[in-house]
Copies of this chain bind each other. A is one copy, B any other.
Amino acid sequence: MQTIEKLLTRFDPLTGVIDGEPTVKRHLRDLRDCFADSASYDAALAAGDPLIYSVASVEPANGAGDLQYGLGRLMPGCIGNEYFMTKGHLHSWREAGEFYFGLSGEGVMLLENEKTGESRMVSLRPHQAVYVPGLTAHRTINVGTTPLTYLGVFPAKAGHDYSAMAERNFRCVVVERNGEPVMLERKNLS
């Protein structure tokens, strides 16, 4: 059996760190083309390049039946009226689902069926689980005023495909309207 150190991990939702595990950090400059309002994006980037989110990840094993998992921490904020978000991804193994669970803060997930483009906005808050089916692009969005932290669990063989969504972008955006998150079609933005 693996050592205890590989079996047990400790999450710190305050810092987004899993003790002893690698953390990827994404800054504003890494999210070019994610935001619809490019003028606001350029203005924000000219003023600085803040950390937008981090993901700590654990890969205990790589067999066909194994799982991997991570701790995401997404900062609050907006570019124009569009909330801070993750890049979003599909799984390389398209059939792979993913389990998300909210730990702190107020978020939503934007889900988009790869075949049909059908989109949904689903709440992600503490003690809420969101199941992301296979063949579904998914992006996490902080719609609150504090860091959003959440865990994600996925099959070890899922893999992450960021390129497909980077090329065509998500069909919908989530923007703030009268203090509430609203999902709109990107093509209908004025």
Where the two chains meet, the residues of A that have a C-beta atom closer than 8 Å to any C-beta of B are 1-2, 4, 6-13, 18, 58, 60-61, 63-67, 69, 91, 93-99, 101, 103, 111, 113, 116, 118, 120, 122-123, 127-134, 136, 151, 153-155, 158
Contact = CB atoms under 8 A, between A and B. Distances in A.
Contact of A131 (B6, B12, B122, B154): B6
A130 B7 contact: yes
Specify how many copies of this chain sit in the oligomer: 2
B65 A134 contact: yes
A134 B91 CA distance: 22
Given A122-B7, A122-B8, A67 B153 contact: yes
- 6 closest Cβ pairs, A-B complex: A65-B95, A65-B96, A60-B131, A11-B127, A153-B153, A66-B97
Contacts of A131: 6-9, 58, 60-61, 67, 69
A156 B95 CA distance: 12
Given A8-B123, A63-B134, A134-B65, A129 B58 contact: yes
Nearest to A119: B1
A18 to B, nearest CB: 8
Nearest to A60: B131
Given A58-B129, A131-B6, A131-B60, A65 B11 contact: no
Of the listed residues A2, A64, A153, the one surrounded by the most CB atoms of chain B closer than 10 A to its CB is A153
